[in-house]
């Protein structure tokens, strides 16, 4: 492992300030010389592999601000501090009852040990990646911009079919993010320039020409809060995850659905897809297909067709299109049949 | 983008000169001091900043019960309990655990008596080569105390972060069932 320095500030202001003071503060966060570490489950893994190479780690695990560790439910919604652990959110009664899609997405992610360490902020920001990215002997535009992409003509069974570019086809692997897209969440950030709020759906960037730039964040910008509005659909919400094995595996395809039904008709619906796309993916075409009509196998099937109309498979991952469609149909019908 | 940098002003976020250390406080080539409580005993270590909690326990404290399987968070062999929660010691830099309370498999037996989970693993022959066993035992203790060992299906799901190459899984589930009942009685 490359040598690195380590700082453990107690205030947000100081944590952001340390990074802001670096000459390369305008670099995208994962390429910056100073980077944050929270639970460390993504960062430590990639530092050991030489994939992440900060020379200064800023540990945010002991920041004193209590809001960062709080789950605050109110009639307006629920606010989750960025340092809340995945396991804490998963077990929280307000989340389990009011926002089941969140609890389900977290419960099926990683292992209990990892969920006990990992923060919600770190989970959202886990690297979008593939096996070639992990191994520094392969070309990878994301790890080493401009070096090429070993996955294009390599083994690309795990790779994305939606949102791909000719530079990168790596899948966004997180589960929780799909729940956040479906629930229309937003994130609050802090940096030395102040605070800002953005729709969660705008946080991640498509790979395009610059797959090494994964989010809108600056290197010195910390996520502080995740804000989820209380909407009529939140209780009737569900996460379906399809994996190669039943537990402790990333999604091959996953679907988050939130549904507002009135007399059997779809008043509103939001759908996010995981394991299939380069970013947490909102399937808006599928939503449009369903709005105002009944939800049954036929209409769900039409929505699933619409969701994958723009899919771009490579040699080994075309199966994800039919798998993804079937997962979407199943998730929609299971959500419809939930008793809330 | 709905981002709005201008309307939320946070004066405390203004950059001050004190926020500009010329050098990181911990220089890459130095040794850092880390304090933990391991199995109830305070210990202070001088470590290379890159040392993981796993390597600190094994190579510096001398407690080799905690095992290194993958070193990448995938197998669970390195599971220890930190501040009451089961975690993976290979994915934590030791500095991140400064002042934490850590329990390893060596800290379980008391007064010459094995912990109920240790005893149950022996009673049910819940291992073959034994390499994954310390991690399985630490994880099982977490699993039971979290209340995630009510059914066999729950045990399998919540123990899925511990891989056993010898596939002793059925006996591990049986051992956890026994230990759960015993710990609930106690
Ligand atoms: C074996 C294994 C299996 C896994 N399986 C799954 C799975 O099935 N589903 C799933 O969703 N995930 C899975 N994961 C990923 C895991 O959930 C993430 O590693 C974890 O959530 C990251 O959280 P962390 O707090 O440890 O982040 P860290 O590793 O500390 O940080 C991750 C990134 O986020 C940045 N960061 C962290 N917090 C902030 C903040 N507040 N503001 C700005 N930047 C920040 C860091 O700089 C870093 O770039 C798996 C991981 C492993 C090792
Ligand atoms: S798909 Fe993306 S992450 Fe994977 S090798 Fe290509 S550029 Fe790298
Ligand atoms: S050694 Fe830590 S999980 Fe394998
Ligand atoms: S007993 Fe051999 S790996 Fe589990």
Q: Which are the contacts of B150, defined by CB distance < 8 A and separation ≥ 6? A: none
Q: Indicate if B65 and B124 belong to the same structural domain.
A: no
A-contacting residues of B 70-89, CB under 8 Å?
Answer: 71-73, 76, 79, 85-88
Q: How far is the CA of A51 from the centre of ligand 4 (A)?
A: 30
CA A39, A44, A45, A49: dihedral to nearest 10 degrees? Answer: 170
State the pLDDT at residue B29: 61
**Rounded to an integer, what distance in angstroms lies between the CA atom of residue A204 and that of residue A19?**
21
Q: Would residue B144 count as lying in a domain? A: yes
Q: Which are the contacts of A157, defined by CB distance < 8 A and separation ≥ 6? A: A316, A317, A319
Using CA coordinates, name the residue in chain A closest to B20.
A21
Q: Indicate if A321 and A239 belong to the same structural domain.
A: yes
Name the closest-CA residue to atom 32, ligand 1: A122
Of A13, A45, A59, the CB nearest to B73: A45
Q: Would residue B7 count as lying in a domain? A: no
Two tokens, residue A94: 């307000």
Note down the domain range covering A102: 69-124+175-229
Give the Cβ contact number of residue B13 at 10 Å: 20
B16–A14 CB contact, under 8 Å: no
Looking at ligand 4, which atom is closest to the CA of residue B136? 4
Of A49, A57, A192, the CB nearest to B15: A192
Note down the domain range covering B98: 32-107
Closest-CA distance, B50 to chain A, in angstroms, reads 7
**Rounded to an integer, what distance in angstroms lies between the CA atom of residue A311 and that of residue A294?**
26
Q: Indicate if B39 and B103 belong to the same structural domain.
A: yes
Yes or no: say if A85 and A92 are a contact pair by the CB < 8 Å rule.
no
Closest-CA distance, B142 to chain A, in angstroms, reads 9
Q: Indicate if A19 and A111 belong to the same structural domain.
A: no
CATH of the domain at B161: 1.10.150.120
pLDDT by residue (tens digit) across B76-128? 999 999 999 999 999 999 999 999 999 999 999 999 999 999 999 999 999 99
- The number of domains in chain B is 2
Q: Would residue B162 count as lying in a domain? A: yes
CATH of the domain at A34: 3.30.43.10
pLDDT by residue (tens digit) across A94-108? 999 999 999 999 999
Looking at ligand 2, which atom is closest to the CA of residue A140? 8
Q: Indicate if A202 and A328 belong to the same structural domain.
A: no
Ligand 4 contacts CB of residue B166 (under 6 A): yes
**Rounded to an integer, what distance in angstroms lies between the CA atom of residue A128 and that of residue A130?**
7
Of B10, B88, B142, the CB nearest to A194: B10
**Rounded to an integer, what distance in angstroms lies between the CA atom of residue B141 and that of residue B149?**
10
Instruction: Supply the ipTM of this predicted assembly.
Output: 0.96
Using CA coordinates, name the residue in chain B closest to A91.
B146
> Which residue, chain included where needed, has tokens 């099982």?
B140
**Rounded to an integer, what distance in angstroms lies between the CA atom of residue B132 and that of residue B139?**
11
Of B46, B80, B107, which closes a domain? B107
Closest CA to B127 of B94, B172, B86: B172
- The ranges of chain B with pLDDT < 50 are 1-26
Q: Indicate if B88 and B127 belong to the same structural domain.
A: no
- The number of domains in chain A is 3
Q: Would residue B80 count as lying in a domain? A: yes
Q: Would residue A159 count as lying in a domain? A: no
Q: Indicate if A180 and A225 belong to the same structural domain.
A: yes
Q: Would residue B75 count as lying in a domain? A: yes
> Which residue, chain included where needed, has tokens 């149909």?
A329
Q: Indicate if A223 and A308 belong to the same structural domain.
A: no
Residue of A116, A133, A206 to mutate, interface with B, max B Cβ within 10 Å: A116
Two tokens, residue A202: 């705008």
In chain A (340 residues long), the average pLDDT of successive 10-residue segments reads 94 97 92 97 97 96 96 97 98 97 98 98 98 97 97 98 98 98 98 97 98 97 98 95 97 98 96 98 98 98 98 98 98 96
């Amino acid at each position: 492992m490359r040598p690195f320095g380590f700082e453990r500030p107690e205030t947000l202001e100081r944590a952001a300030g340390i990074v802001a003071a670096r000459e390369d503060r305008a670099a995208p966060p994962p390429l910056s010389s100073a980077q944050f570490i929270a639970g460390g489950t993504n960062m430590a893994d990639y530092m050991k592999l030489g994939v992440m190479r900060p020379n200064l780690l800023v540990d945010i695990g002991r920041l004193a601000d209590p809001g960062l560790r709080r789950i605050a439910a109110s009639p307006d919604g629920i606010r989750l501090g960025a340092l809340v652990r995945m396991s804490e959110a998963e077990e929280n009664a307000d989340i389990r009852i009011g926002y089941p899609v969140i609890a389900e997405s977290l419960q099926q992610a990683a292992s209990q040990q990892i969920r006990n360490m990992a923060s919600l902020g770190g989970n959202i920001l886990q690297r979008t990646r593939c096996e070639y990215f992990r191994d520094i002997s392969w070309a990878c535009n994301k790890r080493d911009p401009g070096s090429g992409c070993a996955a294009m003509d390599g083994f690309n069974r795990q790779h994305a079919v939606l949102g791909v570019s000719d530079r990168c086809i790596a899948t966004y692997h997180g589960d929780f993010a799909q729940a956040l897209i479906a629930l229309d969440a937003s994130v609050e950030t802090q940096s030395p320039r102040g605070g800002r709020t953005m729709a969660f759906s705008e946080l991640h960037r498509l790979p395009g020409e610059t797959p090494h730039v994964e989010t809108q964040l600056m290197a010195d910008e910390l996520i502080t809060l995740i804000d989820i509005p209380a909407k009529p659909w939140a209780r009737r919400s569900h996460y379906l995850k399809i994996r190669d094995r039943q537990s402790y595996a990333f999604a091959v395809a996953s679907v988050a659905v939130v549904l507002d039904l009135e007399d059997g008709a779809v008043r509103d619906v939001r759908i996010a897809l995981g394991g299939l796309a380069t970013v947490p993916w909102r399937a808006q075409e599928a939503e449009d297909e369903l709005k105002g009509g009944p939800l049954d196998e036929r209409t769900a099937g039409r929505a699933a067709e619409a969701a994958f109309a723009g899919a771009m498979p490579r040699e080994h991952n075309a199966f994800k299109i039919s798998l993804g469609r079937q997962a979407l149909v199943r998730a929609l019908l299971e959500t419809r049949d939930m008793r809330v | 983008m709905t981002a709005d940098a201008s309307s939320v002003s946070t004066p405390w976020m203004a950059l001050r000169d004190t926020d500009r250390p010329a050098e990181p406080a911990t220089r890459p080539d130095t040794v850092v001091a880390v304090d933990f409580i391991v199995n109830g005993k305070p210990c202070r270590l001088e470590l290379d900043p890159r040392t993981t909690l796993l390597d600190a326990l094994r190579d510096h404290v001398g407690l080799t019960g905690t095992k290194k399987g993958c070193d990448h968070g995938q197998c669970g062999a390195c599971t220890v309990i930190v501040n009451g929660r089961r975690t993976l010691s290979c994915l934590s830099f030791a500095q991140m655990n400064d002042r934490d309370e850590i329990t390893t498999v060596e800290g379980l037996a008391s007064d010459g008596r094995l912990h109920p989970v240790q005893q149950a693993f022996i009673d049910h022959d819940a291992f073959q080569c034994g390499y994954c066993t310390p991690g399985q035992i630490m994880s099982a203790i977490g699993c039971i105390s979290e209340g995630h060992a009510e059914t066999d299906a729950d045990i399998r799901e919540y123990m899925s972060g511990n891989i056993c190459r010898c596939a002793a899984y059925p006996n591990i589930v049986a051992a956890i069932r026994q230990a759960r009942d015993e710990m609930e009685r106690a």
